Amino acid sequence: MIRNMNWANRVTVARMVFIPVFVVTLLAGMPEWGPWWAAGVFTLLAITDGVDGYLARSRNEVTTFGKFLDPLADKLLVTAALVALVELGSLPSWIALVIISREFIVSGLRLVAVAEGKIIAASDYGKAKTVLQVLAIIAFILKDSAPLARLLGETGTGYFSAASWLLMGAAVALTIISMVDYFYHARDVITGPWKTESEEA
């Protein structure tokens, strides 16, 4: 199966395969540099989101499989990171719930739109939301690490922690705003009328 994939889809699949590696690295409780290794793996996986998109467009290899798999891989990565941070006690569970629920809701809405023969394009709000989520997650992974405390000192660590919460707050706000924006652009899908099984046949 892998041999038949183009390079863009291979990168996407690799991102999904390495998500457990990131989770294990983060939860393993490795002393000192464990969080930094986890942040490095997460950052690398997040960067591959742009790599597979670039490969698909530049090589004219955009596929239906890739369109489905790429956003799924992104959601799995963010979901895994949020759940792991909740497990570590670093992040309140309600924040993870808000972000993860949004992803399920928007994904379901887009599936309904596709079934109705319509496409809801990714918005600038959604793209900004993704960037803020990634930055906030990286900050939360690192903010309680011992090397960071030694590097920044007590005052610097306090500022870094405050900045981490600001990033996460902005990410949550944009998560909600982007969901509302999706609902607005899909208002005709939400209100119907919808295709019946006889019409689809």
> How is domain 2-194 classified at the CATH fold level?
Four Helix Bundle (Hemerythrin (Met), subunit A) (1.20.120)
Query: Domain map of the chain by residue range?
Result: 2-194
Burial 148-167 (b: 16+ CB within 10 A, else e): beeeeeeeebeebbeebeeb
Asked whether the predicted pLDDT for residue 104 surpasses 70, the reply is yes
User: What digits encode the pLDDT tens for the residues 6-59?
Assistant: 888 888 899 999 999 999 999 998 878 999 999 999 999 999 988 887 787 887
pLDDT at 193 > cutoff 70: no
